[in-house]
Amino acid sequence: MNIEVLYFLALAMISLGLVLAFIRLVRGPSLPDRVVAIDLVVALAIGIIASYAILFDQPAFLDVAIIIALISFLGTIAFAYYIERRV
């Protein structure tokens, strides 16, 4: 069996998780639910980037994962401040 099939299987599992997270993002029902869903989407994006880097032998993509992790942390903190000041 070709080993690349397993890499594609991992990519497909993460993509299915992305679909489920987007369902929660649309359904809500409250704003913190959506922020948690976006947080999970970012974690899944980091996984997709790492899988893509392995599959196509491109280690330069791992830098993108660093930047996405950094920006998502700042975004979550900003959303938390907004939700807490709103009430």
| CA 30 to the chain's CA centroid | 20
Q: Per the structure block, which two tokens stand in for 41?
A: 């989407």
Residues that bind another protein (CB under 8 A): 3, 6-7, 9-11, 13-14, 16-18, 20-21, 23-24, 26-37, 39-40, 43-44, 46-47, 50-51, 53-54, 59, 62-63, 65-66, 69-70, 73, 76-77, 79-81, 83-84, 86-87
Q: Report the nearest approach of another protein to the CB of residue 82 (Å).
A: 8
Q: Report the nearest approach of another protein to the CB of residue 31 (Å).
A: 6
CA–CA separation, 4 and 12 (whole Å): 12
CA–CA separation, 86 and 83 (whole Å): 5
